[in-house]
Amino acid sequence: MDLSIIVPTFNEGPNVVELLRRIEDALTDRVFEVIFVDDSTDDTPDIIADAARTSPFPVRLIHRADPVAGLGGAVVAGFQAATSRWCLVMDGDLQHPPEDIPRLIDRAEQGDVDVVVASRYASGGTSKGLADATRTAVSRASTALTKAMFPRKLANCSDPMTGFFLLDTQAVDVEALRPRGFKILLEVLARRQLRVDEIPFDFAQRHAGTSKATFTQGVRFLTQLAMLRFGRMSAFALVGGFGAIANLVIMWGLIRLGMDYVPAAVVASVVTIITNFLLLEYLVFADMRSESGRMLTRFLKSFSFNGLEAVIRIPVLSILVEGAHIPAVLAAALTLVAAFVLRFVFHALVVYAPRRSGRGAPHPDAAPATAGRRTLE
């Protein structure tokens, strides 16, 4: 086998035959297998088994009666069962067009990448298959937060939340993966610095069935994100918490000295913006300073963003105090909490963004592209 296609399924019966037909049409000159890892509670396993009996290529079924770790766990089970070093992961609802599989393979065969990502957000890609504007906004926000938490490892990946990608499983420790819920690619990329490239694709409308995205899956994603990137995020939160407390103490002291709450908030904000930047420089992002330009440039970016945030936050503070009659210090605390995520995202993606490497550039620990590597042919 030169390619194993892993399809995690949950109640996807109406999609199976059409998916296999389109895979066969797309890969007429390839040797491959399809592995369905199925967690269904309906007749999907029977439909897969029937299709496998008449398929001109190998179709295997792993039905998990007691599913572990959701869709991500299903993909890991597929990795473990695959006969090929190269594994392609795709959904079973045809939102990931099988016709794009040859493009991922062609890119991998150049021999200088560990993973090829089919991206909705790369130039030329679309996310039109998302159900509505809310789903689109949630997807974009989740992607921005994820990239902010892993600015180095995701520097060359615009869509770490996609479920459509081609992976050299010898480049990762499959047994070390600990997926939670949907986002298996994030788990793969966050564990080790890999050589990544992308192809754009059109995220299609669902062929049949309904979305499996739920509030519970959202909570699992946030848990996965926190577990993978607890270190830097918690350090940023610690600095942000210190700054927030300092801001409130300075503001409270100035008000006690007779200053009006608005200028007191301005002074407190300027002092804590400068202090927080220095703490971020030497505590939180110390390992990224050498890759992100001059300190003065970083300071100007940080100060400008925080200044703009303060310009917006202070009028909101005034509305909370004057309109909602919330005590000034409590109102300031509420606005500072609301600003935390925005600050983190901006600093990780803009202020301390590493210089972008070339597409598929080897990471420091990577072996030469020709060492121990074979093509998919």
Q: Are 285 and 347 in contact (CB under 8 A)?
A: yes
Residue 360 domain-assigned (yes or no):
no
Of the two residues 231 and 305, the one the predictor is more confident about is 305
On the question of pLDDT at 183 being above 90, the answer is no
Residue 357 has a pLDDT of 55
- Residue 366: pLDDT band (50, 70, 90) is very low
Pair 109, 216 in one domain: yes
Instruction: Report pLDDT digits (tens) over 308-348.
Output: 887 887 788 888 888 888 888 888 888 877 777 788 888 88
Residue 364 has a pLDDT of 39
- Residue 207: pLDDT band (50, 70, 90) is very low
Question: Residues 30-41, buried b or exposed e (16+ Cβ, 10 A)?
Answer: bebbbbbbbbbe
Pair 83, 183 in one domain: yes
On the question of pLDDT at 222 being above 70, the answer is no
| Cα–Cα dist 376/230, whole Å | 37
- Which of 180, 204, 228 delimits the end of a domain? 228
Structural domain count of the chain: 2
On the question of pLDDT at 292 being above 50, the answer is yes
Residue 231 has a pLDDT of 58
Instruction: Report pLDDT digits (tens) over 106-164.
Output: 999 999 999 999 999 888 888 776 656 777 787 788 888 888 888 888 888 999 989 99
Among the residue ranges 227-241, 250-264, 286-300, the one predicted with the least confidence is 227-241
Residue 375 domain-assigned (yes or no):
no
Q: Are 318 and 264 in contact (CB under 8 A)?
A: no
Pair 42, 99 in one domain: yes
Residue 72, domain extent: 4-228
- Rg, C-alpha atoms of the chain: 24
- Give the alpha-carbon dihedral of 121, 222, 129, 189, to 10 degrees: 40
On the question of pLDDT at 256 being above 60, the answer is yes
Provide mean pLDDT across the span 82-100.
94
> Nearest Cα to 202, choosing from 175, 164, 229?
164
Pair 208, 96 in one domain: yes
Residue 334 has a pLDDT of 82
Instruction: Report pLDDT digits (tens) over 10-30.
Output: 999 999 999 999 999 999 989
- Amino acid in the structure at residue 43: D
Residue 365 has a pLDDT of 38
Pair 218, 256 in one domain: no
Residue 367 has a pLDDT of 37
In the block, residue with structure tokens 């069962």: 81
Instruction: Report pLDDT digits (tens) over 44-70.
Output: 999 999 999 999 999 999 999 888 777
Sheet strand arrangement including 33-38: 59-63, 33-38, 4-9, 86-89, 165-168, 115-119, 196-200
Of the two residues 172 and 279, the one the predictor is more confident about is 172
Q: Are 114 and 193 in contact (CB under 8 A)?
A: no
Strand 86-89 with 165-168, pairing: antiparallel
Pair 75, 219 in one domain: yes
- Residue 355: pLDDT band (50, 70, 90) is low
Q: What percent of the chain has pLDDT over 90?
A: 39
